[in-house]
């Protein structure tokens, strides 16, 4: 669950607050760094309806990771066969494709991905699958990505271009709705026979997303500018939508953590009048634990939904739990 690609290179220069700030900025890039291919990829091959799943006669859709599976399943219901490439519990940011992934794509009609550079494993996997009939749906098409997320000043040391921005758009219910609509529209092109079903299912799910957005708005408007620190750069869209502030991302390899690192981190973070410190469900992070003690803040779990249950309703369960966590932490 740790995303340390950048920190591993730079995390050892512990010469005070500035380097920690640099560290924050560099780790902020970690999740969103991306290969620059195919940013504008939408539905490619509309004439595939004859190539349906041999077993069931249904359209076969492969999705990349949990939110894409959940949103696609919400649109299709039982009208299509939906599979997931990155099993829940496996890290999507660093995912390495398996031969079974290649097979799944080779025999699929449609591929649904989050895009924005999240699925770095896809390019080669799709190439290897050699499936000319494959239609690809980029769920983030027409969503404007966020690049800068932290109010911390820029440092000279920027090692990565993140051309496609931060990929965690599914954690904003309004953008999630846009993703569901994108998936619906792509599926209608790829599988027009089920148009009515896809439209009806989507309409239901969108109602729920709108009510979730409403709930977030009503609850979080009571705590404007609630400032928080996390160790996974997953919440800039959520923060922007509901006027919270995701200050920065803390990522330091646990085994190399020195007391000076902790002290520097605490001093840097103390300047910002934090309300909350967020970890992830089931993840221990020594730095965040130390920070939470020294800052006298409770460390709470926030779910990025990169792993969890495959039921489309799980999105609402997890997001409502997140809302409760935010409400309590931001008071
Ligand atoms: Zn992530």
Give the lowest-confidence range in 13-22, 67-76, 201-210, 306-315: 13-22
Would you state the pLDDT for residue 292?
A: 86
* Phi and psi angles of residue 18, each rounded to the nearest 5 degrees, phi first: -60, -45
Tell me the C-alpha distance between 56 and 112, whole Å: 20
Would you state the pLDDT for residue 12?
A: 28
Ligand 1 centroid, distance to 168 Cα (angstroms):
6
Would you state the pLDDT for residue 26?
A: 33
Tell me the C-alpha distance between 269 and 192, whole Å: 53
Per-residue model confidence as pLDDT tens digits over 83-127:
999 999 898 988 999 999 999 999 999 999 999 999 999 999 999
Ligand 1 centroid, distance to 54 Cα (angstroms):
35
Quickly count: other Cβ atoms within 10 Å of residue 181's Cβ.
18
Ligand 1 centroid, distance to 57 Cα (angstroms):
35
Spell out the SS3 assignment of the chain: CCCCCCHHHHCCCCCCHHHHHHHHHHHHHHCCCCCCCCCCCCCCCCCCCCCCCCCCCCEEEEECCHHHHHHHHHHHCCCEEEEECCCCCCCCCCCCCCHHHHHHHHCCCEEEECCCCCCCCHHHHHHHHCCCCCEEEECCCCCCCCCCCCCCCCCCCCCCCCCCCCCCHHHCHHHHHHHHHHHHHHHHHHCHHHHHHHHHHHHHHHHHHHHHHHHHHHHHCCCCCCEEEECCCCCHHHHHHCCCEEEEECCCCHHHCCHHHHHHHHHHHHCCCCCEEEECCCCCCHHHHHHHHHHCCCEEECCCCCCCCCCCCHHHHHHHHHHHHHHHHHC
Ligand 1 centroid, distance to 100 Cα (angstroms):
23
Closest CA to 168 of 3, 324, 305: 305
Per-residue model confidence as pLDDT tens digits over 141-195:
999 998 754 433 333 333 344 457 899 999 999 999 999 999 999 999 999 999 9
Ligand 1 centroid, distance to 27 Cα (angstroms):
12
Residue carrying structure tokens 């309703």:
313
Per-residue model confidence as pLDDT tens digits over 43-90:
444 343 445 666 678 999 999 999 999 999 999 999 999 999 999 989
Ligand 1 centroid, distance to 179 Cα (angstroms):
17
CATH topology of domain 59-208: Rossmann fold (3.40.50)
Percent of the chain past pLDDT 70, that is, above it, reads 75
Ligand 1 centroid, distance to 305 Cα (angstroms):
9
Quickly count: other Cβ atoms within 10 Å of residue 35's Cβ.
13
Sorting pLDDT into bands at 50, 70 and 90, what band is 256? low
Residue 35 has pLDDT above 70, yes or no: no
CATH number belonging to the domain at 7-34+215-330, selected among 3.90.79.10, 3.40.50.1980, 3.20.20.140, 3.10.450.50: 3.40.50.1980
Sorting pLDDT into bands at 50, 70 and 90, what band is 255? low
Ligand 1 (single-atom ion) residues, CB below 5 Å:
31, 234
Would you state the pLDDT for residue 47?
A: 40
Ligand 1 centroid, distance to 232 Cα (angstroms):
6
Would you state the pLDDT for residue 29?
A: 34
Ligand 1 centroid, distance to 235 Cα (angstroms):
9
Q: Do domains 7-34+215-330 and 59-208 have the same CATH topology?
A: yes
* Domain locations in the chain as residue ranges: 7-34+215-330, 59-208
Per-residue model confidence as pLDDT tens digits over 300-326:
999 999 999 999 999 999 999 999 999
Please give the residue that has the higher pLDDT: either 225 or 157: 225
Would you state the pLDDT for residue 147?
A: 75
Ligand 1 centroid, distance to 91 Cα (angstroms):
8
Would you state the pLDDT for residue 64?
A: 98
Q: Which residues on adjacent β-strands are paired with residue 300?
A: 278
């Amino acid at each position: 669950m740790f995303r340390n690609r950048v920190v591993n290179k730079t995390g050892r220069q512990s010469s005070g607050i500035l380097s920690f700030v640099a560290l924050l900025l560099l780790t902020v890039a970690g999740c969103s760094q991306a290969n620059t291919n195919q940013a504008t990829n939408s539905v490619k091959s509309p004439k595939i309806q004859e190539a349906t799943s041999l077993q069931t006669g249904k359209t076969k859709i492969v999705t990349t990771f949990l939110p894409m599976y959940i949103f696609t399943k919400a649109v299709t219901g039982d009208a299509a066969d939906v599979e997931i490439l990155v099993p829940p519990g496996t890290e999507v940011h660093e995912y390495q494709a398996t031969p079974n992934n290649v097979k799944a794509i080779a025999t699929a009609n449609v591929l649904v991905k989050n895009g924005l550079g999240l699925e770095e494993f896809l390019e080669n996997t799709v190439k290897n699958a050699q499936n000319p009939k494959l239609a690809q749906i980029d769920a983030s098409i027409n969503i404007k990505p966020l690049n800068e997320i932290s109010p911390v000043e820029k440092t000279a040391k920027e090692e990565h271009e993140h051309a496609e921005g931060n990929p965690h758009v599914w954690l904003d219910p309004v953008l999630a709705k846009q993703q569901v609509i994108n998936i619906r529209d792509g599926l209608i092109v790829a599988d027009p026979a089920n148009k009515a079903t896809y439209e009806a299912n989507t309409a239901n799910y969108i109602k729920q997303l709108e009510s979730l957005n409403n709930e977030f708005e009503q609850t979080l408007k009571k705590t404007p500018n609630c400032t928080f620190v996390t160790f996974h750069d997953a919440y800039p869209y959520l923060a922007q939508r509901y006027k919270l502030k995701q200050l920065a991302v803390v990522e330091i390899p646990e085994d190399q953590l020195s007391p000076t690192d902790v002290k520097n981190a605490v001093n840097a973070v103390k300047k910002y009048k934090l309300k909350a410190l967020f970890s992830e469900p089931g993840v221990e992070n020594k730095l965040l634990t130390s920070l939470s003690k020294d800052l006298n803040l409770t460390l709470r779990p926030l779910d990025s939904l990169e792993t969890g249950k495959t039921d489309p309703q799980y999105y609402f369960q997890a997001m409502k739990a997140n809302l409760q966590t935010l409400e309590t932490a931001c008071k």
